[in-house]
């Protein structure tokens, strides 16, 4: 990865944003009982329409491989915990609509794939995964600063600041290429991702089931280990 491509990880990565709490109904009919909607809200990220849009406009096969790589590494018994423990949204509005998917674990996101756009043209994809900092440093035998020095041209490692991570997580971001994910085999991110996901699943059920896309999830789980 060239220095220019490394800079893309900083320039084009959609930031984490606070989502509307699942189930919230901001546009309730005035005449509905106690101001509540008579019908549950259907989020676009949970629809077959968004799944088909991903298939038609972007690289669905690549997105599935990226998501499956994370699920295989981080989620124990993913078929048994889908929706209740983890969920995946398709073309969510998070990050200004720049994401391909967001994979949520418990009460927070565990990984997401995003679009790299230059001058209004899609120029590639990136992936960000959240992992347990202590496990990453223990498994690699060096500090986060040293890992950034060693792999800085290929990945970007940053301390995760969201309060729900409670200071224990870092994000690892990399550009995705056609052959598959770009998170390096030399970087022990899979064990670290599993360590963090185990904690998140133990702490909370999935808080974003309303955004879950069953069509994309089924595609991912079809060949999950």
pLDDT digits (tens, 9 = 90+) for 172-211: 999 987 655 567 777 899 999 999 999 999 999 999 999 9
Cβ neighbours of 201 (radius 10 Å): 22
pLDDT of 225: 66
Least confident range of 21-25, 50-54, 91-95, 193-197: 21-25
Top-confidence residue, 146 or 35 = 146
Q: Give the model's pLDDT for residue 213.
A: 98
Its sign, for the CA torsion 130, 196, 89, 77, is positive
Q: What percent of the chain has pLDDT over 70?
A: 80
Q: Give residue 154's pLDDT band: very low, low, confident or very high (50, 70, 90).
A: confident
Is 70 exceeded by the pLDDT of residue 5? no
pLDDT class of 96 with cuts at 50, 70, 90: confident
Residue 9: per-residue pLDDT: 59
Name the residue among 187, 204, 192, 194 with its Cα closest to residue 132. Answer: 192
Q: What is the DSSP letter of 14?
A: P
Is pLDDT at 24 greater than 90 in this prediction? no
pTM of the model: 0.83
3-state secondary structure of 135: helix
Contact 140, 187 (CB under 8 A): yes
Here the tokens at position 66 are: 């990226």
The pLDDT assigned to 186 comes to 79
pLDDT of residue 193: 97
**pLDDT range class, residue 115, cuts 50, 70, 90:** very high
CA angle 202, 63, 183 (to 5 degrees): 70
């Amino acid at each position: 990865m060239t220095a220019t491509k490394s800079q893309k990880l900083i320039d084009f990565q959609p930031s984490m944003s606070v989502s509307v709490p699942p189930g919230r109904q901001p546009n309730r009919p005035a005449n509905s009982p106690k101001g509540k909607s008579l019908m549950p809200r259907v989020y676009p990220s949970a629809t077959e329409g968004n799944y088909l849009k991903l298939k038609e406009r972007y690289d669905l096969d690549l997105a599935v491989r990226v998501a499956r790589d994370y699920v295989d590494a981080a989620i124990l018994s993913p078929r048994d915990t889908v929706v209740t423990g983890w969920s995946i949204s398709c073309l969510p509005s998070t990050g200004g609509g720049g994401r391909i998917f967001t994979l949520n674990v418990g009460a927070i996101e565990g990984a997401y794939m995003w679009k790299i756009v230059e001058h209004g043209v899609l120029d590639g994809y990136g992936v960000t995964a959240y992992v347990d900092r202590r496990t990453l440093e223990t498994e690699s035998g060096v500090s986060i600063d040293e890992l950034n020095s060693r792999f800085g041209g290929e990945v970007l490692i940053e301390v995760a600041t969201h309060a729900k991570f409670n200071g224990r997580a870092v994000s690892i971001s990399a550009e995705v290429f056609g052959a598959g994910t770009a998170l390096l085999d030399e970087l022990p991110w899979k064990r670290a991702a599993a360590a963090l996901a185990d904690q998140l699943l133990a702490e909370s059920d999935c808080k974003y089931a309303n955004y879950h896309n069953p069509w994309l999830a089924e595609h991912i789980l079809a060949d999950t280990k």
